[in-house]
Structure 1
Amino acid sequence: MSWTKSRPTVSTTSGPKSRDIFALAWPMTLKAIMLHGTVVIDAYLVAALGEISLAAMGLAAAIAGFVLGAILAFSNAMQIRTAQAYGTRDPVFIKSVLASGMTISVVVGCIGLAIISIFGGTVVGIMAPTGEVATLAKDYLAVFAIVILAEAIGQCLSSFFNGCGRTKISLYSFCLSLPINIVASIAFIHGYWGLPALGVTGAAIGSAIAATVQVSFLIYQLSRHDSYLRKIHGWRQTNFAQTLKRHLIFALPIAVTFFSATFATHICTLIYAKLSLNAFAAMTLIAPWIMVAGTIGMQWAQATGIIVAQLLGQNEQEQVLDRFLSSAWRGAFIAAAFVAAIFLIVCLSASYLYSDLNTQTRSFLLSFLPILLILPFPKGSNAICGNTLRASGDTVYVMHIFVWSQWLFRVPATALAVLYFDLSVIWVLSILLFEECIKFPAFHRRIYRGEWKRAIVSE
């Protein structure tokens, strides 16, 4: 496909509207739900094996999540940078972003696997509540390495397509891989159709097969739609090394922000392992739901950021940016209400969804409801601010808000609540809400100052 045949993602005649955000956001939302749904599916299928298997999967997923978090961090930076390049309509800029982003993503994935190989077994041995949980978690991690390698490529390509406004391609890749994940996981967990019954490890095998299929589809779509990039000569800077360096300078604060969030989340998950077995099982079950349902608001905010980046790349007028952001904010509150409704359904249906688990585990899930009904609203509004500021290049400020709220509040507060004060799991979960309230003033004050509207992203 030649560059001249592509068309803008949004119309700038009167400015983009909420429907433009929705056009980008709904495929991204479904894709993200399917991504996080991999963990939800594994947790649901493994739950039938009991609390020990569920705890093992939760512990292994927390450790693997460090690497996946780093990959996703740079992919988010890739998405914003691609949107900026797409707004300038410069094919050399597009090519430079794709090549730089892919190089960084693959290197990060390989480094992460090496770290897990060296230190993963030791961490599992220290954090696992029992030896049986440790053994099962190590087996899960060994197979999940394939998922990490596939995601290093797949997440970069998905972010590239999203930044260009082709969000449906990423969605189609997950629509293809999700049923494969379900069928393969069930088969290998329980040993159907002559296959071995591998329990927790079977869930990892199902995810690995699905991830391989997904990345193969994305590579095919890249060759089909963007083969013209191979014919584009030159780089954004004088050579590829300088281009890679410039991309890394832009991406690093965004990557640090997302990696810090993921790292802090999984550190907290490891701390949760010191809760009682039933409390830890409840946190393991609700955490994927928080991620999955929360993606509705998060992807709305990311779609907002993509359009803001494209508009800034086109040097759009401030009045257009103001109207667009107001529309985006109204949509964000609707999305937050929808997320709260999902949490309501999940918590009230806990006895049905997880009937095989202990009664106390299910009662913990129901007790989470008051917190989960409030959480989406400040979280969604903060996300709109954060993605808008990133789109304008104000990445360092956003990084500071996230990093300091996580490492000066959430992580130490979780450690004190669990390891020192031995508080109820309900109070442990409420720390997530308090964190969003801490970030709220800093984000909104920066947006209202308005410097983001005058950013020159092509420089």
Structure 2
Amino acid sequence: MRFTGPASATIFALAWPMMLRAIMLHGTVVIDAWLVAGLGEEAVAAMGLATAFGGLLLGVLLAFSTATQILAAKSFGTGRPEALRTALVCGLVINLGAGLAGLLATALVAGPMIEGSAHTPWIAAEARSYLAAFSIVVLGEAAAQSLSAHLNGCGETRRPFYSYLLAVPVNVGVSVVLIYGLLGAPALGVTGAAIGSGVSAVLRALYLGHHVRRANAAALAASAWTQGSFPRALRDHLVFALPVAATFLSATVANTVCSLIYARLEITEFAALTLIAPWVQVAGTVGMAWAQAAGILVAQLLGRGAGAGVLEDFLRQAWGGAVLAAAAVAAAYVGICASSGWIYGTLQAETQAALWSFLPVLLLLPFPKGSNAICGNTLRAAGETVYVMHIFVWSQWLFRVPGTAALVWMGVPVAWVFSLLLFEELVKFPPFHQRMRGGRWKVAKL
């Protein structure tokens, strides 16, 4: 039986809520830092020190949730209630287990590292207090991210976005009250920001859990598991998810190492890289959301048993949309560079010049990055998570990280250091597209 592939409008309908949700997630971090900034530089330093650990934990949860999203989409495509239930329950168990394991590891190693990095005992104490309260965020997000991934896989991308519309104002309100001790509440300083984020995360999990329960009543009522037993199903889910988690973890560590290397640049060059990095991340969510939506639909088509012709027709539309998304991102980068003098009014002329020197790379970067993202999400949807992991890990650790160290050591202009982001995408381009042309993924089984 031949299935009709989704149109570009279907990809867009899935992509825009994920894009806005990602932007709001990045914005939440900015808002928390802005709220704490009123307490002074030492409070900001304490928060920054603690969130280095908290951010790594949330990154691991996001990685496992990405795998759950793919499996949920495949299960949704099959139309079998027991498959959908298996993906949901296994995803929740793995995320909660990863969250608890991460908190245990953090409790063992974070204390000495904070003590060694903090400039004053007060900063160390505040960082430890913030991190202790942040455990609420980790557990709440473990459930919320898994439930969001399940809904995304089922094509319900708007509901996770709505959960942020509900939770972000609560986060801001509770944080302000607890940071500064308003309305008779104790003034908890930076710890208040962590508690506010925790309340927000728990609220999101409850909201998403309620909706999943309503929307998936038939799946939750199923008594069977896809592999005959829950332990076997959990093992298969984990085997699929581990390469995805390793890919995200490698990227996080590689970015951290490169940031430490950047610190050896001239102060104006380092400042320019620091300022452009969040804009690259936020603007890049446009192309990444499009690619993730395409990956969800590929997984659903594979679950339905769609043939190679349907998959190829669909991907041609997806790649066409990716080009348009890349053009929009490139235009956004032009606007960011052009308005940087207004956004950051106190920048030195050298820093401003460094930002403008990034523009040629920024104009080209979205195009190979968007195409690689389509390939990566498609291959993951077909179960080729190990192959995708190898491409990312080796391009990072055999090319970008040593290349960054070498260029910084040689003292080349900062634009060449920044250009390694583009060249990394060009390194990944041949193995990704060669694998896509091979066609084995079109009949792959998860």
1:37-186 aligned at under 5 Å gives the runs 37-45=27-35, 57-126=47-116, 137-186=127-176
Taking a change above 3 Å as real, the CA distance of residues 429 and 137 of structure 1, as seen in their structure-2 partners, is farther
Aligned equivalents of 1:422, 1:205: Cα separation in 2 = 44
1:373-412 aligned at under 5 Å gives the runs 373-412=363-402
Aligned equivalents of 1:116, 1:90: Cα separation in 2 = 39
Structure 1, gaps ≥5 residues long:
1-11
- Shift in Å, 1:94: 1.0
**Aligned with 1:322 (options 312, 321, 342):** 312
Aligned equivalents of 1:379, 1:55: Cα separation in 2 = 33
Q: Are the aligned partners of 1:414 and 1:428 in contact in 2 as well (CA < 8 Å)?
A: yes
Q: Are the aligned partners of 2:3 and 2:310 in contact in 1 as well (CA < 8 Å)?
A: no
Partner of 2:25: 35
Structure 1, 321-330 or 175-184: larger mean CA deviation: 175-184
Correspondence 1:452 to 2:422: no
Taking a change above 3 Å as real, the CA distance of residues 145 and 350 of structure 1, as seen in their structure-2 partners, is farther
- Shift in Å, 1:129: 7.3
Structure 1, 150-159 or 355-364: larger mean CA deviation: 355-364
Q: Are the aligned partners of 2:213 and 2:220 in contact in 1 as well (CA < 8 Å)?
A: no
Q: Are the aligned partners of 1:69 and 1:263 in contact in 2 as well (CA < 8 Å)?
A: no
> Tell me, what secondary structure is at the counterpart of 1:444?
helix
Structure 2, gaps ≥5 residues long:
none
TM-score (norm 2): 0.88
Taking a change above 3 Å as real, the CA distance of residues 63 and 278 of structure 1, as seen in their structure-2 partners, is farther
Structure 1, 247-256 or 297-306: larger mean CA deviation: 247-256
Show CA shifts across 1:309-363 (max 9, x none): 1111111122211111011001111111222233333333334434578887676
- Shift in Å, 1:188: 4.8
Partner of 1:208: 198
Specify the code of the residue in structure 2 equivalent to 1:77: A
Structure 1, 340-349 or 41-50: larger mean CA deviation: 41-50
RMSD: 3.1
Specify the code of the residue in structure 2 equivalent to 1:120: A
> Tell me, what secondary structure is at the counterpart of 1:236?
coil
Correspondence 1:433 to 2:422: yes
Aligned equivalents of 2:301, 2:87: Cα separation in 1 = 18
Taking a change above 3 Å as real, the CA distance of residues 54 and 305 of structure 1, as seen in their structure-2 partners, is same
Show CA shifts across 1:402-444 (max 9, x none): 11111222233344555x5566655543332222121111111
Partner of 1:7: none
Aligned equivalents of 1:193, 1:367: Cα separation in 2 = 49
Show CA shifts across 1:57-83 (max 9, x none): 444333322211211111111011111
Aligned equivalents of 1:165, 1:99: Cα separation in 2 = 18
Aligned equivalents of 1:74, 1:179: Cα separation in 2 = 27
Residue identity (%): 53
TM-score (norm 1): 0.86
Taking a change above 3 Å as real, the CA distance of residues 128 and 407 of structure 1, as seen in their structure-2 partners, is farther
Q: Are the aligned partners of 2:3 and 2:306 in contact in 1 as well (CA < 8 Å)?
A: no
Q: Are the aligned partners of 2:70 and 2:295 in contact in 1 as well (CA < 8 Å)?
A: yes
- Shift in Å, 1:390: 1.0
1:257-268 aligned at under 5 Å gives the runs 257-268=247-258
